Structure 1
Amino acid sequence: MSPLLIKDLGRPEKFLNMLRVFKFKSPMSMGVWGLLGFSLFSGITAVIQAAKDNILGNWWGARLLARLPQKLLAVPGSFFAVFLGGYTGVLLASTSVPVWSRSRMLGALFVSSAFSTSTALISFILRIIGAPVKTLHKLERIEWMNILIEMVSLFAYLRTSGRAAKALVGTEPTEQGPTFWRVMVGGGLVLPWLVQTFLLTKKQTHSSSRKKRGGIGMLVSALVLIGGYFLRRTVVKAGHVSSADARTTLWNARR
């Protein structure tokens, strides 16, 4: 992900300049170091897995990489992954835009969304390659719980945002309400959670029902992924509307 940030900055030396300092109270500084740490551990883990799968060949270097403790490296890597999942929400909350800064739950919302969408993506891919039914059943339970946590985080964010959430949930032409409620909440959270609840309570009888269940599971994962995309899209667009609302800006400044 670091190459994507460097490309977005336009000049590689800007990224190097950001590594010259470490400020714990600076979201930008912490974000750069968090991104660097995540890229480092995820890259090493991917190389180790490639060596174990014999993608790198059978030379001594590949055999040495295959012996490295992949699970041990996943522990600090998971920490950076969680940090990065909520970083964009924390960064937005550090601005003066009311719909972003009024509530401190935006970072937690983005973390919960990252968990649900990543689980959905893993489930989607494993269904394509034909993973064992037992593994998929465990993923269904994890996906169900992650969607529930995301719904709780979302409504906690809306509750603590107060009037500032109008740009996100309102019905004015410039607001994101219809897309937010129909696509993100309805299609990306509530519907997948209800279907997943039905799947968890339904027993598998024969191979045809398993195939049907697999197709429904892929649809659930796709809906969660679409909902995660529209969550970030509507939140970002609502920020533009919120910053142009003078009354909400003054109300937010009085807190």
Structure 2
Amino acid sequence: MTNSDFDAYRPPQPERKRRRRRAAGEVRRTGAGDGSREQPMVDDIQFDSYYGRPIVKAPPWKAPIALYLFVGGIAGASSLIAAGADATERPTMARNARLTALGAVLVGTGALIEDLGRPERFLHMMRVFKPSSPMSVGTWILSTFATASGVAAAGEIDSLLDEKLPLGPLRGVLQAVDGPAGAVSSALGAPLATYTAVLLGDTAVPTWSGARHGLAFVFGSSATMAASGAQLLLTPTAETGPARALAVAGVVGDLVGMHYTKSQMHPLEAEPLEEGEPGRLLKISEGLAIAGGIGALLGGRNRVVAAASGAALLAASALTRFGVLNAGLESVKDPRRVVEPQKARLEERRKAGVTDDSITTAG
């Protein structure tokens, strides 16, 4: 018997008994001949995967990616709040939103590079632009957004410091491009806040794939309530009227979107979103979102209540991203969550009469 590296994946095998050699002329007895003494050829089959390995390999995404999902949403939605604050002449909220967007996108870029392992891998991702790849498109959205947000925030910082930065002739250039840079960052705000949902839904991970029809709405609503919560925390209440309204809208969208998304999923795909550690995180997130939304609606004009509501909304958004990420990683551990939803979808296509394509054949 030989051994190889692959033997480490095989379960331990019981020692085989040696066969007794029949004597010359001895006839092998197989029973009475009527089938009454036949033994089953195999034991009862248990639903399991090959050698106990997962059918679908989960991506090696950990806490840095969950952080990136969270702060990316804050950055994108904050740029939209900054544009709205500019349009309604709320300079303090516009400045705070631009600085929040820049800080969040810098943290998110750092978390993404940390997950990649080597910084140069991020640069390698920008060598090509592949429209069919959510990751490639997302990398370019992130890079362009970060550049535009940096330019827009630089103008706010220079103004905040009474133009004491040693910019020289560059100050005129910065003032000239400040408006266009803000417009670019606000235009890319919604894609930045939601493209990660498309990225997760494009994988073969059961829970993420099953949630692909509603996850972008959940992430967009979650980003809205987080960015609004940041302004309730940072900006005086005299300017936060629109942020309070957005916070309430974000909470409603987050709750309705999550329940709608789960209703469109196979029960086994939705199971990790409701059970275990991911389910616990999402339940806490729901409670914090409701508390933060009520506080913003009823007590948002009080500075203390507004700050507490903003902190609750930020925490709720973070727990939503961590919960969804961990639910997907948990879903690949049970082979039933991979196979049974596929079989159910196949049966639905057959009942609908789709039997002539490369996916469905006649039953």
Give TM-score, length-normalised by structure 2: 0.59
Give unpaired runs (5+ residues) of structure 1. 201-209
SS in 1 for 2:304: helix
Runs of 4 or more, structure 1, over 4 Å off, are none
**Equivalent residue in structure 2 for 1:49, among 156, 159, 166:** 156
Deviations 1:103-141 (A, max 9, x none): 221122112211110111122011xxxx2x431233222
The aligned residue for residue 86 of structure 2 is none
Whether 1:108 aligns to 2:217 is yes
> Match for residue 294 of structure 2?
194
TM-score (norm 1): 0.82
Structure 2 CA distance, aligned partners of 1:195 and 1:83? 29
Percent of residue pairs bearing the same amino acid type: 26
Q: Which has the higher helix share?
A: 1
| Equivalent position of 2:203 in the other structure | 95
Match of 1:184 in 2: 285
Contact 1:48–1:68 (8 Å) recurs in 2: no
Summarize the alignment of residues 114-133 of structure 1 with structure 2, pairs less than 5 Å apart: 114-126=223-235, 131=236, 133=237
**What does residue 271 of structure 2 align with?**
166
The 8 Å contact of residues 176 and 234 in structure 1, kept in 2 or not, is answered as yes
Equivalence for 2:130 = 23
The 10-residue stretch of structure 1 (150-159 or 25-34) with the greater mean CA deviation from structure 2: 150-159
Asked if the contact 1:109/1:154 (under 8 Å) is kept, the reply is yes
Unpaired runs of at least 5, structure 2: 1-105, 346-363
Q: Does 1:219 align with 2:219?
A: no
Partner of 1:204: none
For residue 93 of structure 1, report the CA deviation from its aligned partner.
0.9
Alpha-carbon distance between aligned partners in 2 of 1:217 and 1:37, rounded to the nearest angstrom: 33
Distance change (3 Å), C-alpha of 1:179 and 1:17: closer
- Report the Cα distance in structure 2 between the residues aligned to 1:4 and 1:56, rounded to whole angstroms: 32
1:61: which partner in 2? 169
Give the whole-Å Cα distance in 1 for the aligned partners of 2:177 and 2:257.
35
Counterpart for residue 321 of structure 2: 232
Tell me if the contact between 1:56 and 1:62 (Cα under 8 Å) persists in the aligned partners.
no
Aligned counterpart in structure 2 of residue 10 of structure 1, from 114, 117, 131: 117
Aligned residues: 234
> Deviation at 1:186?
1.3
RMSD: 2.2
Query: For residues 152 and 162 of structure 1, what CA distance do their matches in structure 2 show?
Result: 18
